[in-house]
Amino acid sequence: MKTILTIMLFVPFLYLHGQKIGEMAPEKPPESFPANSWGVDFMFSEGGFGLGTFYRHNFTSTTSGFVDFSISEAKDENEIERYDIFGQPVVIGKQNRIFLLPVNFGIQQRLFENTITDNLRPYINAGVGPSIVVTTPYDYEFFSSFGKAQAKYTLGGYFGLGANFGLDKSSLLGINLRYYMIHFFNNGVEGLKGKFMKDLGGLYITINLGIMY
């Protein structure tokens, strides 16, 4: 107990008179990363796999603006996939394949810049913009069905939480969990026969790979 009391009295003394003993080592300044980033997004959701591309520009060390574009497939939550006698997947009652092509403009805000090491850079982001929704008839073979594709236009957006990794100043590696929202103000699009969907989107896990310059 006597030793602990001695330490408790001695530590404040060192803090108050530390300048007489020696200067504390200065903190390492935060890393400075290039202002521009460009790359590709690999997207995974319940609807399947998607691809995208993005461009980001840093306004400050914590705030960035971006534009991105992606292509992914959407499915009705009531779709049930089965297999025919040849092993081919079949969805009973499916009328159209649905593809989402949103363009989003948004803001990305870095979190905990002075708390977490620059090797891990968490952020929140949100974007909004026009969305194209393309449908192709399910009764046709996948590629040939695009000859009968129809497009509809509406608005959409997303918000997300993610992080960039590493200290490399030329390459970008990150992951982003996003929730997309694409809403139609009319009847929407027909997925299953006779059932129209007005709200599309959902949760996406997105892996970002790119370059910084």
Beta-strand relationship, 89-91 and 199-212: unpaired
pLDDT in tens, 105-126: 999 999 998 888 889 999 999 9
Q: For residue 136, give the H/E element and its range.
A: strand 120-137
Q: What is the DSSP letter of 45?
A: E
Q: What is the pTM of this model?
A: 0.79
pLDDT in tens, 58-89: 999 999 999 999 999 998 887 777 776 777 77
Among the ranges given (10-24, 111-125, 173-187, 190-204), the one the predictor scored with the smallest mean pLDDT: 10-24
Is-contact 157 130, C-beta < 8 A? no
Which amino acid is it at 157? G
Helices (H) and strands (E) in the chain, counts: 2, 12
CA angle (106, 110, 113) in 5-degree steps: 165
Is-contact 133 182, C-beta < 8 A? yes
